[in-house]
Structure 1
């Protein structure tokens, strides 16, 4: 009897089980992948420079005799900013003018005699040469006299005065600075990764901490022809209007470069699963019954708050899991608890799941 019971038990264990417990489906929240226009932003830091800037200095060794500007004064091109001792040069100018006048008179007299056949052509040539030599000496004297004047080369604002009347200055000594601040140049370093996105005329937005973080609109003027082999960045120059003259050379500026809007396939940022350097998302395969999820590897692009662009791995309209990914693996059976239509929070989705309409489904 005991032997028969053992045989019966072994026979029962060897029979295949015809009924097994079906795996429970995981409730998930999903959102469809959609397209939208996305304007990618590039952030950089730049330094302001004046449109034109120069440090004015003397070209000769002389004593300052007069100063015609004050600190921070606005001047026009050609304005005399400072004078240096030029008594000798003025005397030489008087002499040169007199010499030119006499040489011209002699030339005209011989010219009339040649026309009357009363003088020779060779004498006329001598007088012409003397007249031209006197004119050249006059120009040289005027040039030496001009070296004793410090002129503004363009419209702008002068900086701090570095000289005083009676001071002996030598070539290279700083007299003052002059900046054309009607337009400001903004030089910034941009990663070469964005080189294809940069072009002259591209709009930028600049924010300067020295101006209470106010924004200034401008545009890219030029792009350097070389990429720095060490930083792998390219220098970009933008122009910023400065009608109020509140932008100053040397100010540190935060820049946002706005790329032209492009249509991008977007999914919720909550759908993204980071594994090392790879990114994945669970996509619902609703064709199968019951529905299952497929783990897809993604190539992503730019972001905006709450969403990320997908370059490859997902198609438009596919349902992507946004909540419940922690309980999923590739091929897991799921049922959709609620579909996110906009930017609903998890609390709103749970309330939507608990609504009578969903229960009746």
Structure 2
């Protein structure tokens, strides 16, 4: 090997000082890592850990109270007295005597159909009836004296009765040519025009009495035992938010619906202001005896998941200030605005997280920053 090759090998070999530095660095790293591992093992074995921060939440205290109970359903309003007016006889409209939307009294003439021929026939029939009356009167004076036979008196009486019957028959035909209001109420939109030819049954207008209305709704068959006539029904409509109308059950359908298995219920309600109208959809609440000692929570306190509904209860000696978080399954019942009735492994006095539970883990420490009062108390 040449002299220049030997010199290159000597330059690539590390010096003793470099080797010593590398060894010392490795030893120091080993000692540091070993000390860190031993320290963490000791901390874990001694049960010491970094202090956990308590999560601030708003809570409410479960207090039993009396809660109104009801069976709610969607109902429809209809008039106690409502009808579509139509003529009984064919003819041409000769007069219209109502305005759409006006209030009319019972018996008011609304539409007149031409009855000229019938009135002419009546005059002829009335003349015959008058002549028959005169003949009868004469026979009644002569028959007792023997001047006329009694058979002729009976014949005159029969002729007079027939003449009167003919007049009454024509009067009935004339009455069929007039469309009158069968009861007082509000007339709907006019559906005929002057001079229009009408057939029997053609619609003229609707007539509705708005002073009383029916509320028709249906409830599941399992609630049949709770239903009875005379029960109270509270009616609400989105057309009048914040207002409640009262009704009374007047009929319960004796047959259960074959398709829905529901019970049809009808209630009647006064409508003195004529504010509600037939055809409106309403919420009908069948009033039941109130629930006593019910537990009520804000809806925000109930968490819904695939496993069901649950709440977070604070456990501890002074739960009103804070403690451990525990998840408790519950079942929800009747809703009352922003509150809901709950049942489950809860008891009066339990402190339940009402707001902020999304930040709370099971078993975590929580701190009550605010007590939410129950609205019904």
- Residue 52 of structure 2 corresponds to none
Tell me if 1:37 matches 2:70. no
In the superposition, relative to structure 1, how do residues 265 and 62 fare at CA in structure 2: closer, same or farther (>3 Å)? Answer: closer
- Residue 262 of structure 2 corresponds to 233
Per-residue CA deviations over 1:142-197 (Å, capped at 9, x if unaligned) read 00111111111110111111111111111121111111112222222222333333
Separation in 1, partners of 2:151, 2:198: 49
- Residue 27 of structure 2 corresponds to none
- Residue 164 of structure 2 corresponds to 135
What secondary structure, in the 3-state scheme, does the structure 2 residue paired with 1:40 have?
strand
- Residue 308 of structure 1 corresponds to 341
What secondary structure, in the 3-state scheme, does the structure 2 residue paired with 1:208 have?
coil
In the superposition, relative to structure 1, how do residues 193 and 75 fare at CA in structure 2: closer, same or farther (>3 Å)? Answer: same
* Aligned mate of 1:220, from 233, 243, 248: 248
Separation in 2, partners of 1:62, 1:242: 38
- Residue 333 of structure 1 corresponds to none
In the superposition, relative to structure 1, how do residues 248 and 80 fare at CA in structure 2: closer, same or farther (>3 Å)? Answer: same
Separation in 2, partners of 1:66, 1:271: 67
Q: Rg larger in 1 or in 2?
A: 2
- Residue 62 of structure 1 corresponds to 91
Spell out structure 1 runs of 4+ moving beyond 4 A.
30-35, 267-282, 296-307, 317-327
* Aligned mate of 2:119, from 90, 100, 104: 90
Separation in 2, partners of 1:224, 1:246: 28
Once superposed, what is the RMSD of the aligned Cα atoms? Answer: 4.2
In the superposition, relative to structure 1, how do residues 306 and 102 fare at CA in structure 2: closer, same or farther (>3 Å)? Answer: closer
CA contact (8 A) 1:47 1:253 kept: yes
Per-residue CA deviations over 1:330-349 (Å, capped at 9, x if unaligned) read xxxxxxx99xxxxxx94447
Deviation at 1:37, TM superposition (A): 2.3
- Residue 153 of structure 1 corresponds to 182
Tell me if 1:81 matches 2:110. yes
Deviation at 1:232, TM superposition (A): 2.1
In the superposition, relative to structure 1, how do residues 87 and 308 fare at CA in structure 2: closer, same or farther (>3 Å)? Answer: closer
Separation in 1, partners of 2:361, 2:268: 48
Per-residue CA deviations over 1:197-221 (Å, capped at 9, x if unaligned) read 3332413132233x4x352412133
* Aligned mate of 1:168, from 191, 197, 222: 197
Deviation at 1:42, TM superposition (A): 2.5
Separation in 1, partners of 2:128, 2:178: 24
Which aligned pairs between 1:255-294 and structure 2 lie closer than 5 A?
A: 255-264=284-293, 266=295
Separation in 2, partners of 1:36, 1:215: 24
Deviation at 1:300, TM superposition (A): 8.2
Q: TM-score, normalised by structure 2?
A: 0.65
Which aligned pairs between 1:326-341 and structure 2 lie closer than 5 A?
A: 326=362
In the superposition, relative to structure 1, how do residues 246 and 80 fare at CA in structure 2: closer, same or farther (>3 Å)? Answer: same
Deviation at 1:306, TM superposition (A): 5.5
CA contact (8 A) 2:216 2:266 kept: yes
In the superposition, relative to structure 1, how do residues 131 and 39 fare at CA in structure 2: closer, same or farther (>3 Å)? Answer: same
Aligned length: 302
**Unmatched 5+ residue regions in structure 2?**
1-58, 316-327, 354-359, 372-377
For structure 1, which segment, 184-193 or 82-91, has the greater mean C-alpha deviation from structure 2 after superposition?
Answer: 184-193
CA contact (8 A) 2:82 2:207 kept: yes
- Residue 24 of structure 2 corresponds to none
**Unmatched 5+ residue regions in structure 1?**
1-29, 285-295, 328-336, 339-344, 350-361
CA contact (8 A) 1:273 1:281 kept: no
In the superposition, relative to structure 1, how do residues 34 and 115 fare at CA in structure 2: closer, same or farther (>3 Å)? Answer: farther
- Residue 119 of structure 1 corresponds to 148
- Residue 341 of structure 1 corresponds to none
What secondary structure, in the 3-state scheme, does the structure 2 residue paired with 1:64 have?
strand
Tell me if 1:144 matches 2:177. no
Separation in 2, partners of 1:325, 1:42: 37
In the superposition, relative to structure 1, how do residues 71 and 278 fare at CA in structure 2: closer, same or farther (>3 Å)? Answer: closer
What secondary structure, in the 3-state scheme, does the structure 1 residue paired with 2:254 have?
strand
- Residue 50 of structure 1 corresponds to 79
* Aligned mate of 2:234, from 191, 198, 204: 204
CA contact (8 A) 1:206 1:218 kept: no
Q: TM-score, normalised by structure 1?
A: 0.67
Deviation at 1:307, TM superposition (A): 6.0
Separation in 1, partners of 2:189, 2:180: 16
For structure 1, which segment, 171-180 or 227-236, has the greater mean C-alpha deviation from structure 2 after superposition?
Answer: 227-236
